[in-house]
Structure 1
Amino acid sequence: MTDAPAPLRFGLLGAGRIAAKLAAAMSRTAGVTAAAIGSRDPARAAAFAARHGVPVAGSYEEVVASPDVDVVYLALPPHLHLEWGRRAAEAGKAVLCEKPLAPTAADAEALAAACRAAGVALIDGTQWTRSPRADAFWSALGGGELGELTRVTAAFSFHADGWEADEHRLDPTRGGGVLLDLGWYCVHAALWAFDADPVHVACSLTRETHAAGAVDVAASGLLTFPGGRTAGFDVSYRTAWRNWIEFAGPAGSLVCDDFTRPRDPAKVRHFRHDRRGDASRVELPGFDPQAEFLTRVAAAIRAGGDEEGLKLALRTQSVLDRLREAAG
């Protein structure tokens, strides 16, 4: 009987909402543990550590240098990902990076290059594609249930009220904007489903001016793929909650109205429409989305990385750059 490997020890950089969710998930996931939390504010790091049972609280520098950390999780604003991802790689740590990998494709490529040069894994933080439901979607798409996939349509929005003045998602100098944020999921999903890059893109952005400058708060785009296949998306910080995706072909479609994360993880479902539009409900076994994600991340890191996932993340960054350029 082979003993289970020691848990991968994660050092979290950033003590905000996203880090808190993942720290909580680590406490219920075998094979991983939250070993340290880093913040620029010592009091905030200490409070986070006490709240989530993390044994060590310190600065970013201390977490990255710690011999008790195997993986550095970047829960920081996008403009800090390259700097701290590079530092983590140089310290011999694998890197789990929240999406987007960086504000631009060039910075994302630089981060990937730093990790390759150091011989460490770089994993992007897109969770939904690393789940049993995405596996079921992929099986349906590959199994011909819809015929040849011709169209992907996605929408992701919420009405962002009550954000504090220092909210990085409204700061263009820190990698803010809805296209890089919610748009990431929609573009990533289209590239994942078609397994190809678009030959043409179009995009319209709605911008608002905040303290740090003009930033996009709504975006709509069209991606045209080889063979006339298309994907459309709509994302916004100024519209009510929507989180749906449709995969369509000549024989039918799959529709999911909570695609990035099941609203009820115990009752995971989507809908199958036939060519006439008649719908049936497809139910899947329940699962813990974040625990499932962490389990797959840990397995990928132990195997040396997830090269296909990284390629998809870098392609997503490239298309987001193209969309931003197309919008003018």
Structure 2
Amino acid sequence: MTEPQTRPDPTQRTTWAILGPGAISRDFLAGLRASASGTLGAVGSSDRDRAARFADDAGAGFTGTYDEVLARADVDAVYIGTVHPLHADLAIRALEAGKAVLCEKPAAPTAPDVDRILAAAERAGRPFVEAYKNRFGPWADELRSVLSGASLGAPREVEAAFGFAAPERSGRLFDPALAGGAILDVGCYPASLAVEVAFAAGEVPLSAVALQSASGEIVSGVDGDATARVRLGQIDAVLRTSIVRDLTPAAVIRCEHGTIELPDAWGERDVSATRIILRPDGEERRIIDVPAVQPMAAEADAVSRALAAGRREAPEMPWAHTRAVAHVLTGWRSAVVPG
């Protein structure tokens, strides 16, 4: 059960640095401006000019290389919005510099790299949070409340999909060297949901995470379309993803005594999902609507709460969940992508 989502004390500011001045970081900047306690202090990049242009638009007081930004004593937390292969090393360098880290999903392309990150966070005693927007805010809190309740019984199965048709088959999404492909870009969201549901049914050691089957279509050397069946502790999950066709962004959770329908399971970058539909066996459906929030603001505030409380983990996305998601993604990609 997630801790009550009290907003951080607005007088206790968290000064952030953004590492990687790309499109997703601009979305995070909008979230940071909507957060209760965050403010942007610095922008870091391997390209000084890109960092400077981003900072000019954002009003950041300092720009520089990654190491120059991480050396600043006035930076409390960093958001990592680079391409996937850079996540692990940047996260470790930030943690070793004493910063809290909010890392855009997935934490890293492989489970061993995720283990390296979490070991560094353990050593540093600083928060590390993987940024899944569907895990933060009122909708996510309500889903956890439903899953922990007794009315529908324990969850048993999950079906979830996330896919879109990319306008061009080029760039980061279709570059094997940049860990492109559907599984890491959007398939990680259904995997994250399945892991959350599995943990609601009981603890899930990595030994209880098993890929049962997987298939996919290779496009330009990456997984353009993929499906997996996964066993996670006490639940079975069917996961679908694509970057070459649109998939309905919905999920169904089948429980002992009914189902949970999530018609918009992922929300958008700037607005969270708002509706959960309960269908108890033999009863009328019940619709739960909750307020929308800026999900990236909710992510930033979760990191601020962890910092204020001296915690290394955010309860919305615990390290055990991050490890399990990485285990699923690594196995799924290995089964679909040659070599």
Give me the TM-score of the superposition, normalised by structure 1.
0.89
Name stretches of at least 5 consecutive residues in structure 2 with no aligned partner.
1-8
Amino acid at match of 1:168: R
Q: Confirm or deny that 1:43 pairs with 2:49.
A: yes
SS of the aligned residue for 1:33 comes to strand
Q: Counterpart in 2 of 1:306?
A: 313
Measured at CA, do residues 170 and 200 of structure 1 come closer, stay the same or move farther in structure 2, by a change above 3 Å? closer
**1:201–1:323 CA contact under 8 A, matched in 2:** no
CA gap 1:226/1:121 in 2 versus in 1, 3 angstroms? closer
Contact in 2 for aligned 1:24/1:52 (Cα 8 Å) = no
Contact 2:272 2:295 in 1 (8 A): no
Q: TM-score, normalised by structure 2?
A: 0.86
1:325 alignment partner in structure 2: 334
Aligned-partner Cα distance in 2 for 1:142–1:305: 24
Offset from partner CA, 1:214-256 (integer Å, 9 cap, x none): 11111101112445x3111110001125321111124221212
Distance 1:174 1:249 in 2: 38
For 2:141, which of 135, 142, 154 is the aligned residue?
Answer: 135
* Count of residue pairs the alignment pairs up: 319
Alignment match, 1:11: 17
Tell me, in whole angstroms, the C-alpha distance in 1 between the residues paired with 2:271 and 2:30: 16
Q: Could you tell me which of 172, 176, 200 is aligned with 1:172?
A: 176
Secondary structure (helix, strand or coil) at the match of 1:128 reads helix
Q: Does 2:166 match 1:153? A: no
The equivalent of 1:112 in structure 2 is 118
Return the alpha-carbon distance in structure 2 between the equivalents of residues 267 and 83 of structure 1.
Answer: 32
Q: Please, which of 189, 206, 218 is the counterpart of residue 185 of structure 1?
A: 189
Cα distance, 1:15 vs. partner?
A: 0.8
Whole-angstrom distance in 2 between the partners of 1:231 and 1:278:
26
- Once the two structures are TM-superposed, the CA of residue 31 in structure 1 deviates from its matched residue by 1.2
Report whether the alignment pairs 1:316 with 2:325.
yes
Deviations 1:101-131 (A, max 9, x none): 1111111111111222222221111121122
Select 2:297's aligned residue among 291, 307, 326. Answer: 291
Is the partner of 2:79 in helix, strand or coil? strand
CA contact (8 A) 2:31 2:270 kept: no
Distance 1:98 1:267, change over 3 A: closer
> What's the counterpart of residue 3 of structure 2?
none
What CA distance in whole angstroms lies between the structure 2 residues aligned with 1:263 and 1:112? 26
Matched with 1:201 is 212
Paired residues of 2:127 and 2:303 also in contact (CA < 8 A):
no
Q: Which runs of 5+ in 1 are unaligned?
A: none
Kindly indicate whether structure 1 or structure 2 has the higher relative contact order, using CA contacts under 8 Å at least 6 residues apart: 2
